[in-house]
């Protein structure tokens, strides 16, 4: 396993981290013993960064992590997230920031995370979502800075809203954040425009999520793939979305034909090629995925010509002028 520095936190984190959403909720049936085994396996192989959230099973993911870390807490950095108070997700530009993240609510919710994680001090506390409309009045970040000075949290981050990967750029430049969590993958390349260079300029740790586009960029889905109703992918890949995405993945696979890389490996190596990236929190549900994802760190870098080809596969899914 290779390690990188997580920006201004100075933490030395594994290039591949553990995304702990599926072990909490929303991904259909997930056996707790598989979750525990995959966390242990990943740490045995050198993983030392875990991302979770209160919202992943209302504390379930955090509690499983706490249980596994009982004997090995010192080995790992854990980042968690608190959701905003009730309202639209992602937050609308018309939402009042002080109603969605009021101080009393932040303190109470962070305390719940501390209990779930069985810790006095949270390593990295992230706000689970944001809107760039709040950048002019980022009051919740003042509250988080107070929590930091009180020793309740060590570092402050925000996770980008899914539709706007450059939403945090202003806050990064203004020095509010230690880390950012962002969607960056072969389809979603927008962070390369601004967020990633700004992170480098300002020494902010970058935690990349959804490097596999919710599993699609592992290359394992068929165009007629169906997901159970209790799996959020039944919505994410609703209608003709699987079919369209698989067609694109097939084209990417062609680019890799004369290389040593599988689709899944290329998906991770593409992300790791950017020097601003500190760690990829791959979603992991079993020991085999832990092993496969972690060993990708040791592989050589993608050749420059392949990187260039992969850059041509960016997909701006929100824009329909050019058709589907
Ligand atoms: N708003 C936010 O802040 C936000 C949103 C999303 C995610 N996240 C964080 O980011 C993490 C990563 O994102 P994600 O888990 O949503 O998506 P992801 O990493 O793109 O995809 C993960 C899924 O791909 C499959 N997979 C993983 N490794 C594989 C391998 N080697 N071969 C084949 N399939 C493999 C697994 O699903 P199956 O086994 O079911 O196929 C796994 O659950 C989350 O766990 C969470 O911590 C945060």
Atom of ligand 1 nearest to the CA of 283: 15
Binding site membership of 214 for ligand 1 (Cβ less than 6 Å):
yes
**What is the reported pLDDT for 253?**
98
In a domain, 322, yes or no: no
Radius of gyration of the chain (CA): 19
- Tokens representing 183 are 């969607």
In a domain? residue 316: no
Report which ligand 1 atom has the smallest distance to the Cα of 21: 45
Q: Is the CB of 283 under 6 A from ligand 1?
A: yes
Distance CA 150, CA 169 (A): 27
Residue 116 is part of which domain span?
3-311
C-alpha to C-alpha distance for 168 and 132, rounded to whole angstroms:
7
Residue 259: what pLDDT? 97
User: Does some domain include residue 150?
Assistant: yes
State which of 39, 211, 212 you would mutate to test the pocket of ligand 1, scoring each by most atoms of that ligand within 8 A of its C-beta: 212
Which atom from ligand 1 is nearest to the alpha carbon of 214? 20
Q: Is the CB of 215 under 6 A from ligand 1?
A: yes
Any atom of ligand 1 within 6 Å of the Cβ of 261: no
State the pLDDT at residue 322.
60
Q: Nearest C-alpha to atom 45 of ligand 1 is from which residue? A: 19
pLDDT computed for residue 317 by the predictor: 85
Would you say residue 256 lies in a domain?
A: yes
323 lies in some domain: no
The 10s digit of each residue's pLDDT in 17-42 is 999 999 999 999 999 999 999 999 99
> Does some domain include residue 319?
no
- Positions marked active-site: 56
Structural domain contains residue 219: yes
Cis peptide before 90 (omega within 30 of 0): yes
Which residue do the tokens 């500190």 mark?
278
Total structural domains within the chain: 1
- Find the 167 Cα to ligand 1 centroid distance in Å: 22
Classify residue 320: in a domain, yes or no.
Answer: no
Q: Is the CB of 213 under 6 A from ligand 1?
A: yes
Looking at residue 59, its pLDDT comes to: 98
Ligand 1 contacts CB of residue 188 (under 6 A)? no
Low-confidence ranges of the chain (pLDDT < 50): none
Q: How far is the CA of 211 from the centre of ligand 1 (A)?
A: 8
Q: Which of 31, 124, 215 to mutate to test the pocket of ligand 1 (most atoms within 8 A of CB)?
A: 215
pLDDT tens for each residue of 229-272: 999 999 999 999 999 999 999 999 999 999 999 999 999 999 99
Q: What is the CATH number of the domain that holds 108?
A: 3.20.20.100
Question: Counting atoms of ligand 1 from 1, which one is nearest the CA of 162?
Answer: 1
């Amino acid at each position: 396993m290779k390690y990188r520095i997580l920006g201004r936190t100075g933490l030395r984190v594994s290039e591949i981290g553990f995304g702990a959403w599926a072990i909490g909720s929303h991904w259909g049936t997930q056996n707790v013993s598989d979750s525990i085994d995959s966390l242990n396996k990943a740490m045995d192989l050198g993983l030392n960064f875990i991302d979770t959230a209160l919202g992943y099973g209302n504390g379930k993911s955090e509690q499983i992590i706490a249980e596994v870390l009982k004997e090995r807490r010192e080995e790992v950095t854990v980042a968690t997230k608190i959701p905003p108070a009730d309202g639209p997700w992602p937050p609308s530009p018309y939402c009042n920031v002080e109603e969605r993240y009021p101080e009393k609510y932040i303190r109470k919710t962070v305390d719940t995370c501390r209990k779930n994680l069985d810790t006095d001090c949270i390593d990295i506390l992230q706000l689970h979502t944001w809107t760039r409309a709040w950048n002019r009045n980022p009051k919740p970040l003042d509250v988080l800075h107070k929590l930091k000075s009180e020793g309740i949290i060590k570092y402050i981050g925000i996770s980008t809203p899914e539709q706007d990967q450059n939403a945090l750029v202003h806050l990064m430049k203004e020095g509010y954040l230690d880390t950012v969590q962002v969607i960056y993958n072969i389809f979603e390349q927008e962070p390369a425009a601004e967020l990633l260079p700004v992170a480098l300029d300002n020494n902010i740790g970058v935690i990349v999520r959804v490097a596999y586009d919710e599993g699609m960029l592992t290359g394992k889905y068929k165009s007629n793939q169906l997901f159970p109703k209790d799996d959020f992918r039944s919505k994410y890949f609703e209608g003709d979305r699987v079919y369209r995405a698989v067609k694109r993945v097939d084209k990417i696979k062609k680019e890799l034909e004369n290389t040593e890389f599988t689709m899944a490996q290329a998906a991770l190596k593409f992300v790791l090629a950017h020097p601003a990236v500190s760690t990829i929190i791959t979603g992991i549900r079993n020991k085999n995925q832990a092993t496969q994802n972690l060993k990708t760190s040791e592989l050589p870098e993608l050749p420059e010509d392949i990187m260039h080809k992969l850059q041509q596969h960016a997909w701006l899914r929100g824009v329909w002028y050019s058709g589907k």
